[in-house]
Copies of this chain bind each other. A is one copy, B any other.
Amino acid sequence: MHKSRLAGFIIDCQSDDLDGAAKFWSQALGYSRKPMEDDIYVPLETGPEGLHIEVQKVDHPSRVHLDIETDDIEAEVARLEGLGASRVGKVKSWWVMAAPTGQLFCVVRVQGKGFEEKANQWE
């Protein structure tokens, strides 16, 4: 058995100006910026029960992608393959996958509070 749930989404921005991109999305959505941990991601402050949202600097065309968090990456990737998704590539600890409808999304380690109580449990 393992668990998973929607963790949130990443706003992928094809831009050399990550600061400007983060400023726009922070103000547009009304979330303040959290401190950067590197020069690629700007996390947004969504509150204790909020989604995990980050503005990311990327080289590919801008988009929004979903993140699914799980306590067992391999089991979750296998479950999603069973639903019709496919593996695109592993990056550090997470898997990039493609939905049968074409969108890319990531399967990541647990990030949000309340995961144990609120995530979906799969047999």
Interface residues of A (CB under 8 A from B): 4-6, 9, 11, 13-15, 20-21, 24-25, 27-31, 49, 51, 61-66, 68, 80, 83-85, 99-103, 105, 119-120
**Chain A: interface secondary structure?**
mixed
Contact (Cβ within 8 A) B64 A28: no
Contact (Cβ within 8 A) B65 A99: no
Contact (Cβ within 8 A) B5 A30: yes
Contact (Cβ within 8 A) A24 B101: yes
Contact (Cβ within 8 A) B4 A84: no
Contacting residues, chain B, for A83 (C-beta < 8 A)? 24, 27-28
Using CB atoms, name the residue of chain B closest to A29: B6
